[in-house]
Chains A and B, each alone.
Chain A
Amino acid sequence: MIITDEQLDHVDAATFASATGWDPKPEGLCQGEVCVPAPGLRRDDGTVDIEAAAARLGMPVVRDDEHGLTAVGPGTITGRTLTTAAAPDPELIDRVGSSFRLSSLHGRKVLLHAWASY
């Protein structure tokens, strides 16, 4: 997740959830059926305390001071890439640049095959 200095204190819960897969809910930070308690993480104005969330989930925070950017890496609390078997739902684009969500294939078996031009 990339955050500019201007955005740093203004990341809302939906943006955080979409970028990290961890949804800030009243019961904590949740991914699928897994929830990590995180009291005080969600501010009164609906924004998320990024540093606190990252610390709770074992997410590294990498700074690029020259460009005013913060990168938040994936969580490490389970020591595995997957915390849950619930498939994440990243936003991807197709050949003409239209947005596509994996969740649009719900109800069908999906073989998600990764390839590249290199």
Chain B
Amino acid sequence: MTVALDVEPEHTYPWVDAASPTHPSLIDTRHVTGELFGFVNIPMAVWIDETGTIVRNAESATIERSPLRDMDIPDGLDERLTRMLTEVKAIPDDAAAYRAAIVDWARHGAESPYALTPDEVIERSRPRGDDEARAAACFELGQHLRDHGDADAAVAWWRQAHQLDPGNWTYKRQAWTLVTTPQDATENDLMQGPNDVYDGNWLDDVVASGGGENYAVRPKL
């Protein structure tokens, strides 16, 4: 099943309609699955067995190598776009190994070496202290206010969420794209550049966190 962590359901519709999924395709407007499972970026995934037990905790979940990784960055591109593509190319690529692990689990279930015990799942789940928990509360307050028509009031809470949990990229990417996407755009802005509303932006925050190589929660396979 797929879950879109999007506060605006209609932003997901073009993607969902293009995919025509035959699996359950769902939308999480409150980012509650992030809080419950530990999704802090996308794409990420958890595996759940037939008894409703998590056998693999939240980790980066790509299954195809992005063509961006093998693309030469053209000369003459905008300097910021060039730096952004450089960081994107540096994001670790575990797609082939993760895909193989999924197939192995699908075939062998609990016998798969990739299916973890409950203790391992808990131990590998993301550490959460007061700051991360408080960030979740702040994000939810912002989402609630936005959902009730007060997008301006949401900003202060989302800014707090970003400060408290800078490693949560869904909180940041969600907020940035809503202020950097032009009103007449048909897709959300993926560049998420500097803006007047939030302190951070995609490129500068990625660089500050150690670069593309630290951007994803790599699967421990």
A interface residues with partner B (beta carbon < 8 Å): 1-2, 21, 58-62, 64, 66-67, 69, 71-76, 78-88, 90, 92-95, 97, 100, 102-103, 105-118
List, in ascending order, chain B residues with CB within 8 A of A97's CB: 9
Of A92, A97, A109, A114, most buried by chain B (CB within 10 Å of CB) is: A114
Report the minimum CB–CB distance from B101 to chain A (whole Å).
11
Q: Are B47 and A109 in contact (CB under 8 A)?
A: yes
What total count of A-B pairs have CB within 8 Å?
Answer: 209
**What total of chain B residues lie within 8 Å of the partner, measured CB to CB?**
82
In the complex, the chain A residue whose C-beta lies closest to that of B24 is: A100
Q: Are B28 and A113 in contact (CB under 8 A)?
A: no
CB distance from B118 to the nearest CB of A (A): 4
Chain B residue, CB-CB nearest to A21? B36
Q: How far is the CB of A34 from chain B (nearest CB, A)?
A: 10
Task: Name A's interface SS.
Answer: loop
Interface check B91, CB cutoff 8 A: no
Mark the stretch among B38-46, B193-201, B207-215 that contacts chain A: B38-46
User: Is B88 engaged at the interface, CB distance under 8 Å to the other chain?
Assistant: no
Complex contacts, B65 vs chain A, CB 8 Å? none
The docked-state distance in angstroms from the alpha carbon of A84 to that of B120 is: 10
* Extra A-B contacts (17), CB below 8 Å, given A80-B125, A114-B34, A115-B4: A1-B140, A2-B144, A71-B144, A93-B9, A93-B26, A94-B27, A102-B48, A105-B48, A106-B51, A109-B47, A109-B48, A110-B47, A112-B33, A113-B44, A114-B37, A117-B15, A117-B187
Which residue from chain B places its CB closest to the CB of A94 in the assembled complex?
Answer: B26
Q: How far does the Cβ of B12 sit from chain A's closest Cβ, in whole Å?
A: 5
> Within the assembled complex, what's the spacing in Å between the Cα atoms of A62 and B164?
13
Residue numbers in B under 8 Å from A111 (CB-CB): 1, 45, 47-48, 102
Query: How far apart sit A102 and B37, CA to CA, in the bound complex (Å)?
Result: 12
Residues on B with beta carbons closer than 8 Å to the beta carbon of A74: 35-36, 128, 133, 136
Check if B122 sits within 8 Å of A80, measured CB to CB. Answer: yes
* Contact between B121 and A85, CB atoms less than 8 A apart: yes
Contacts of A103 in B (CB 8 A): 52
